[in-house]
Amino acid sequence: MSIVEAGIVTSGIVKAGLVSYEAPTFGQELVTNGNFSNGATGWIGMNVVDGVANTISTTGTQVITTDAGKEYRLTFDADAKGVVPQLAIQNGNVTPSPVIITIGPAGTGMNPYSATFTALGPDSIIVLSNGSNTALWDNISIKEVL
């Protein structure tokens, strides 16, 4: 864990006092093959070309192990390709699986996205959805915030 301290500067004058910021640390990677370097290994319903994925039949998924009540950091890159894709994290222990968080990438070009969520149970499901199967996904990562 690292701590960064900085004085507050306004119009060239350093005000008294320091601001401390504790940079977050993260646990191990929970997503299998989130960079798609091994094709679609670890994923259901995904097609991979040159290390970038898209859904085959509107939805791609992967189940990861989480702990209820713990916070997790999600990061990924996506190119919406002019459609309306979504990446959702669902609680994997009940039916139907309630959505914990949903992110809807927009625009064109590969862009980074990130969010945090609190797990509801011992399994969480990553759900990539895109009705036209054209959006692209890469570098999907989930790590516990320590």
Q: Is the pLDDT of residue 114 over 90?
A: yes
Do 127 and 88 form a contact (C-beta atoms < 8 A)?
yes
- Residue 55: CB atoms within 10 A of its CB come to 24
For 13-22, write each residue's pLDDT tens digit. 445 566 667 7
Cα→Cα distances 33→3, 63, 83, 91, Å: 31, 12, 25, 21
Q: Is the pLDDT of residue 9 over 50?
A: no
pTM over 0.85: no
Which residues on neighbouring strands pair with residue 143, listed in sequence order?
A: 29, 73
For 33-91, write each residue's pLDDT tens digit. 999 999 999 999 999 999 999 988 888 999 999 999 999 999 999 998 888 889 999 99
Residues contacting residue 17 through CB under 8 Å, at least 6 positions apart: 7, 8
Cα→Cα distances 15→3, 25, 29, 83, Å: 20, 29, 40, 48
Average model confidence (pLDDT) for the chain?
A: 85
Residues contacting residue 2 through CB under 8 Å, at least 6 positions apart: 22, 23
Question: CATH: 3.30.1490.20, 1.10.3720.10, 2.60.120.260, 3.40.50.720. Which one for 26-145?
Answer: 2.60.120.260
Do 60 and 31 form a contact (C-beta atoms < 8 A)?
no
Do 103 and 1 form a contact (C-beta atoms < 8 A)?
no
The helix/strand count (H/E) of the chain reads as 0, 12
